[in-house]
């Protein structure tokens, strides 16, 4: 069976896998974003706090994804729970680091001005610091998404959802007629999804970054 025939035959199955893959990545990025910005906001003002947050999230990233899933399965069982946990943890590093760097990079003169005109701590954070740190944070989210696209494929190992299943099926039946088609379809699907997400980020950037600070 040629690759195109394979695609034609399995179209609905592939689409469902792709949708689940995208949905898993999207939800985990969302969770990582909320968590990551929260960690950044809580730690950026102290030297040691921020450095600790960056160091611990980068340590997480050095654990091979297969190994992390292997560690999570005994605790959480198979399926969605270990997948989501692993993906969210991996997504944290770029977001936390960029949030801290972005928040620390806000011109101290502007902080001084914000205080001087009578903005409260909360108003300063939401009206001045976060909007100014938003471009690097968005870049962090974008990097996290790209990373999670690939890592999410490994999640099939823990019976997670997504295009990884296609790839693992292909690998386990190497030599059979459709093995190569399966791996290829899964891989290409992930690449296409990554490109679509990236395009979405360009659009989000246009919509959410003030014209006054857009490069």
Whether the Cβ atoms of residue 22 and residue 194 lie closer than 8 Å to each other = no
CB of 113 to other proteins, least distance (A): 3
CB of 137 to other proteins, least distance (A): 13
Q: DSSP state, 139? A: H
CA–CA separation, 35 and 81 (whole Å): 17
CB of 165 to other proteins, least distance (A): 44
User: Is position 116 an interface residue for other proteins (rule: CB under 8 A)?
Assistant: yes
CB of 149 to other proteins, least distance (A): 30
CA–CA separation, 185 and 125 (whole Å): 45
- Binding other proteins (rule: CB under 8 A), the pick from 113, 171, 174, 204 is 113
User: Is position 204 an interface residue for other proteins (rule: CB under 8 A)?
Assistant: no
CA distances from 146 to 50, 82, 89, 123, 133 (A): 24, 19, 14, 32, 21
CB of 114 to other proteins, least distance (A): 8
Stretch that binds other proteins, among 36-44, 60-68, 108-116, 186-194 (CB under 8 A): 108-116
CA–CA separation, 54 and 73 (whole Å): 26
Within positions 117 to 136, which residues make up the interface with other proteins, using CB under 8 A? 117-120, 123, 127-128, 131-132
The site for other proteins, by CB under 8 A, has a size of 20
Give 201: exposed, middle or buried? Use CB within 10 Å, 0-12, 13-18, 19+.
Answer: middle
Q: Which residues bind other proteins (CB under 8 A)?
A: 109-110, 112-120, 123, 127-128, 131-132, 210-213
């Amino acid at each position: 069976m040629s690759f195109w025939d394979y695609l034609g035959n399995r179209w609905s199955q592939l689409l469902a896998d792709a949708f689940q893959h995208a949905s898993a990545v999207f939800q985990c990025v969302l969770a990582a974003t909320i968590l990551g910005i929260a960690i950044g906001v809580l730690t950026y003002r102290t030297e040691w706090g921020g450095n600790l947050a960056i160091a611990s999230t980068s340590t997480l990233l050095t654990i091979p994804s297969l190994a992390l899933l292997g560690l999570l399965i005994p605790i959480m069982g198979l399926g969605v729970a270990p997948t989501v946990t692993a993906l969210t943890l991996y997504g944290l590093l770029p977001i936390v680091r960029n949030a801290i760097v972005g928040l620390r990079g806000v011109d101290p003169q502007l902080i001084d001005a914000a205080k001087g005109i009578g903005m409260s701590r909360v108003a300063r954070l939401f009206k001045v610091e976060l909007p100014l740190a938003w471009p690097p944070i968005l870049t962090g989210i974008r990097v996290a998404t790209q990373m999670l696209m690939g890592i999410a494929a490994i999640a099939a190992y823990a019976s997670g959802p997504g295009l990884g299943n296609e790839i693992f099926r292909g690998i386990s039946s190497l030599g059979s007629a459709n093995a190569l088609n399966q791996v290829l379809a899964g891989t290409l699907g992930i690449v296409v999804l990554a490109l679509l997400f990236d395009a979405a980020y360009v659009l989000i950037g246009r919509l959410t970054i003030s014209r006054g600070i857009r490069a």
